[in-house]
């Protein structure tokens, strides 16, 4: 095996949207994101990884990592993604992930919320992702200790664990408009609101259609609506489709945690199974389409849009399975002379 590489993308803007104002969504400080990057690097070193490629940003995360690098530490070689100008937009995540794919990364760890993971997933090709939660609505990223995730990532990137045993392929929802093709990892929602505005969705009365790759009863965000009506596990190849409407006008009302601090009644007209490979036309003309809880696509009057559930989304690392495999193979164990004697 040649040089072993893993990538770390940290989004400085995750966990900063308007939901901190309209609800009590948590704030994830930059300093903690930088600490998580350092915990990942420390874990990478233990696995013998040769090189880590880290994203750069103007929010202070990469600067903090650089300062820590100057103080020395038991880390692999650290390089920063410096070849693309920083735009302060989602393009920074896309560019960093592309550089990591080009550099031959065996795993990419993404620090952010659903929005960051979505952007990374669109660019990571077949490189497995570990998405760690530092955003607002975290359905796709996991709440997990970065040190443990770093061990799992390092063991996969160094080839000590076979990725085929500990990764699975996530489904995605592909949305196609006249000008754009985008994916969502969890949900696609049509909103009557005319503008992207402050991006996050928090008013369910403007929503008309919802499509989810999966729907868990204990989910947060829009997928919690079908999660309480017609749950569909992540392991299912099918998704769910819902028609929404104003409360008082619909046969069903779900009290769903659509954002941290916001449990709102949502009117549901009906629902059904969303089968993979079936193209559904969205009735969104002139409105806005939200991807994973963020208004993203503004449509012109009369412009059509389609959604399709696709089984070929990103490869996702199951950290728990990876660490179980590490235990089974004894990868984080060392046999000592004393131990050998005792076992004799």
Q: Count of residues for the chain?
A: 344
Alpha-carbon distance 64 to 18, whole Å?
Answer: 26
Q: Which of 3, 82, 87, 311 binds other proteins (CB under 8 A)?
A: 87
Per-position x/- string for 49-68, each x denoting binding to other proteins as judged by CB under 8 A, each - no binding: ----------xx--------
- Alpha-carbon distance values, 209 to 45, 188, 189, 281, 287 (Å): 46, 8, 6, 11, 12
Alpha-carbon distance 306 to 285, whole Å?
Answer: 11
Give residues 280-319 in contact with other proteins (rule: CB under 8 A).
286, 298-301
Cβ closest to other proteins, residue 85 vs residue 270 = 85
| Exposed e or buried b per residue across 208-228, where buried means at least 16 C-beta atoms within 10 angstroms of its C-beta | bbbbbbbbbeebbbbbbbbbb
How many Cβ atoms sit within 10 Å of the Cβ of residue 320? 13
Cβ closest to other proteins, residue 12 vs residue 219 = 12
Smallest gap from Cβ 37 to other proteins, in A, equals 15
30 is a contact residue toward other proteins (CB under 8 A): yes
Cβ closest to other proteins, residue 272 vs residue 286 = 286
Residues 6+ apart with CB under 8 A from 330: none
Cβ closest to other proteins, residue 51 vs residue 118 = 118
Beta-sheet strand order (sheet of 279-282) = 181-184, 172-177, 305-310, 279-282
Smallest gap from Cβ 97 to other proteins, in A, equals 17
Residue whose token pair is 């969104």: 284
203 is a contact residue toward other proteins (CB under 8 A): no
Q: Tell me which residue of 272, 288, 299 sits closest to 211, measured CA to CA.
A: 272
How many of the chain's residues bind other proteins (CB under 8 A)?
A: 30
| Tokens matching residue 179 | 């000008």
Piece of the chain touching other proteins by CB under 8 A; list 25-33, 104-112, 264-272, 318-326 = 25-33
Cβ closest to other proteins, residue 73 vs residue 88 = 88
Q: Which of 45, 69, 148, 196 binds other proteins (CB under 8 A)?
A: 196
85 is a contact residue toward other proteins (CB under 8 A): yes
Which residues of the shown chain bind other proteins in the complex (CB under 8 A)? Answer: 13, 16-18, 20-22, 27, 29-31, 59-60, 85-89, 91, 194-199, 286, 298-301
């Amino acid at each position: 095996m040649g040089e072993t590489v893993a990538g770390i993308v940290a989004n400085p803007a995750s966990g900063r949207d308007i939901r901190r104002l309209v609800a009590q969504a948590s704030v994830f400080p930059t300093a903690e994101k930088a600490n998580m990057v350092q915990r990942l690097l420390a874990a990478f070193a233990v696995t013998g990884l040769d090189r880590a490629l880290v994203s750069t940003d103007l929010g202070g995360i990469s600067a903090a990592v650089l300062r820590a690098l100057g103080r020395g530490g038991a880390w692999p070689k650290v390089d920063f993604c410096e070849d693309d100008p920083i735009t302060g937009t989602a393009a920074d995540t896309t560019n960093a992930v592309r550089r990591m794919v080009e550099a031959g990364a065996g795993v990419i760890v993404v620090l952010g919320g659903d929005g960051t993971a979505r952007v990374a997933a669109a660019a990571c090709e077949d490189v497995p992702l570990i998405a760690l939660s530092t955003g607002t609505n975290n359905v796709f990223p996991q709440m997990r200790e970065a040190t443990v995730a770093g061990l799992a990532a390092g063991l996969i990137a160094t080839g000590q664990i076979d990725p085929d045993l500990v990764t699975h392929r996530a489904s995605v929802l592909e949305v196609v408009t006249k000008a754009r093709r985008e994916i969502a990892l969890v949900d696609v929602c049509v909103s009557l609101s005319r503008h992207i505005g402050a991006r996050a969705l928090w008013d369910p009365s403007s929503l008309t259609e919802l499509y989810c790759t999966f729907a868990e009863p204990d989910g947060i965000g829009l997928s919690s609506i079908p999660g309480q009506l017609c749950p569909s596990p992540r392991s299912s190849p099918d998704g769910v489709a819902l028609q929404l409407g104003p409360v008082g006008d619909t046969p069903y009302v779900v009290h769903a945690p659509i954002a941290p601090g916001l449990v709102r009644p949502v009117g549901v007209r009906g629902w059904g199974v969303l089968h993979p490979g079936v193209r559904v036309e969205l009735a969104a003309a002139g409105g806005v389409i939200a991807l994973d809880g963020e208004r993203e696509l503004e449509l012109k009057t009369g412009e059509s849009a389609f959604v399709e559930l696709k089984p070929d989304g990103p490869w996702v690392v199951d950290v728990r399975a990876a660490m179980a495999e590490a235990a089974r193979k004894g990868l984080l164990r060392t046999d000592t002379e004393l131990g050998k004697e005792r076992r004799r």
